[in-house]
Amino acid sequence: MPDPESAVIAGEKISNQCTNVGYPRVQGLNNAVVQERINKLIKQQVYSMVPQEGCEEYQVVAGSSEIKANEKGILLKI
């Protein structure tokens, strides 16, 4: 059972006719500014790895993420 003081890692997706990419999103931090900054950096990194040429160049772009660091409550509410 997760610690009630821990942040939550939820899933987000980039999904369209040829793209299916999942990535993490942090939720539940007490500091909304820090939380949004973390999520913005994650999203920027993910989008930088998705080819801009899109469906015209690539038939399928797929990816996912696996989060293990928060299993021990490393992201805590502060």
Mean pLDDT in residue range 13-24: 86
User: Is 41 inside any structural domain?
Assistant: yes
Q: Does residue 61 carry a pLDDT above 60?
A: yes
Q: Does residue 69 carry a pLDDT above 70?
A: no
The contacts of residue 33 (CB under 8 Å, 6+ apart) are none
Task: Let me know if 48 is exposed, middle or buried by CB neighbors in 10 A (0-12, 13-18, 19+).
Answer: exposed
When divided into structural domains, the chain yields a total of 1
pTM value is 0.71
User: Is 63 inside any structural domain?
Assistant: yes
Q: Does residue 4 carry a pLDDT above 60?
A: no
User: Is 75 inside any structural domain?
Assistant: no
